[in-house]
Amino acid sequence: MSQTRIKRLSPIFAGLMASLLIYAMDSTIFSTAMKNIVSDLGGKAYYAWPFTSYLLCSTIAIPISGTISDLRGHKPVFLCGIALFLAGSSLCGLSGNMPELILFRALQGTGGGVIVAGVFTIIADLFPPAERGKYTGIVSSMYGLANLIGPVTGGFLSDRFGWRWIFYLNLPIGVFAFIALFFTLPDDRQIIKQKTDLSGMIVLALILFPVLTSLSLAGTVLPWNSPWIVGMAVFAFLMLLIFILLQHRVKSPIFPSEYFTDRRINMALALSFFNQMSLIGAVVYLPYFEQNILKMSATGSGLVLAPMMVSLVLAANIVGRLISRTNQYRIWSLIGFCLIGFSMWRFSVMDKSTGYSVLILNAVLMGWGVGMNMPVGNVNAQNSVSKCRIGSVTSAVTLFRNIGTATGSAFFGTVLTARNVIGWEISGVSRVFQVGIAVALLGILSSSFLRDAKLPES
């Protein structure tokens, strides 16, 4: 890349990474401050809903914003997303009670969904297919960085300056990203006569809302077979049938049928889902094992996650570059899921005698496996569609990642609390990791169907 192009793209890249960092960090920075928030605002009964409202609205916003950006321009939609996120952050910091915080977290999540869908779409706009892997890997490392510094930053700000500052922290970073992109990102807006699929967006929201709500409640607040959970599942299924019919009748569908018939795309969606599901299993239940079985402190358990996130960042960057150089991504995804499966097996056989060094080694391998898959889903899907579908297909990959997070959180939580099967004398957390092995095997199956192809250099 020439020095002139580097100079031109540097502020754009900085703005993209800053915007993705505040989105990703807002999920992790919030957790350590929640105790102080509840003691200040009250509403302990609604403890989980600031998390849930953020996840719900960000997930619903992802596919909708991707489709709108393809029709109305990636830059204006992305900037609107940053503005929404900053407005939500400001209002969250000013919340006077828990219902207000939940509402403003929903607004913040809506902006966040636009951001996370737009970042990887703009990467595809800026770089040819042969270079997308490298830069997708670099940007994806923001997830690892957010998991690394988010909890520590949240705890520090909450204890020293008050919990409201975890939201105010977003403002200078977000303003920098907005200004950098406003003045340097090329405007790709085009006059497109096709109408936005408004009916499809409404029906899609009616699918995702009950699915994500039921996953948030099932196995914890309500049993899986409760009338509310079953009712939401049936309603979501009926809406799905309507959505499929609508998508066949419009000229600019949110999810064209080829997304589910083209093996390159549907396998990219599947491996993104299983990779994220594996990550949430490790991030949530490895500290649980450390604190409840090994009797480690919260700080000590957090220190084990740090090497995992460092290895995730490194793997995402290295594999992104290897994809660009070798035109291969199938082999890297297969190796990644094999490492995930091996790590899950190592986690499942740990006991009270497990040493600190073994924990860290297993965590590093887990992070490396997840990181190897980070660039694969986006690059494989983006290189399978025309430029006019880049925003839509990127949003689809991101949507499946978010659903993987919600599914993993609900499913692994149910596995943890389930009663021991007769003759299966292992702890609940060991069962979680054994199920994680099965998830990794499904990831290996998905990766085996990927097809390598020479990536165009322009």
pLDDT at 1: 55
Please tell me the distance from the alpha carbon of residue 311 to that of residue 314, in angstroms, as a whole number: 5
Please tell me the distance from the alpha carbon of residue 423 to that of residue 31, in angstroms, as a whole number: 37
Sign of CA dihedral 199, 202, 208, 211: negative
pLDDT at 191: 47
Please tell me the distance from the alpha carbon of residue 197 to that of residue 440, in angstroms, as a whole number: 36
Structure tokens at 426: 């292992």
Please tell me the distance from the alpha carbon of residue 122 to that of residue 181, in angstroms, as a whole number: 11
Considering only CA atoms, which of 384, 366, 174, 217 is closest in space to residue 278? Answer: 366
Counting DSSP H helices and E strands in the chain, the numbers are 17, 0
pLDDT at 424: 40
Considering only CA atoms, which of 244, 246, 249 is closest in space to residue 259? Answer: 244
Could you tell me if 252 and 69 are in contact, meaning their C-beta atoms sit under 8 angstroms apart?
A: no
Angle formed by the axes of helices 428-448 and 263-292, nearest 10° = 160
CB atoms within 10 A of CB 91: 17
pLDDT at 112: 92
Could you tell me if 32 and 158 are in contact, meaning their C-beta atoms sit under 8 angstroms apart?
A: yes
Please tell me the distance from the alpha carbon of residue 27 to that of residue 149, in angstroms, as a whole number: 12
CB atoms within 10 A of CB 230: 14
Residue type, 297: S
Residue type, 393: V
pLDDT at 421: 44
Looking at the DSSP bridge assignments, the partners of residue 222 are 218
Q: Residues 165-202: pLDDT tens digits?
A: 989 999 999 999 999 999 988 876 554 555 666 777 88
Please tell me the distance from the alpha carbon of residue 62 to that of residue 116, in angstroms, as a whole number: 7
CB atoms within 10 A of CB 17: 16
Point out the residues of the chain with pLDDT beneath 50: 191, 420-426
pLDDT at 275: 94
pLDDT at 429: 78
pLDDT at 425: 37
Please tell me the distance from the alpha carbon of residue 22 to that of residue 200, in angstroms, as a whole number: 29
pLDDT at 19: 94
Structure tokens at 366: 């887990």
pLDDT at 420: 45
- Note the pTM of the prediction, 2 decimals: 0.79
Residues 6+ apart with CB under 8 A from 191: none
Structure tokens at 215: 């996953």
Considering only CA atoms, which of 395, 393, 374, 396 is closest in space to residue 382? Answer: 393
CB atoms within 10 A of CB 183: 10
CA-based end-to-end distance of the chain = 13
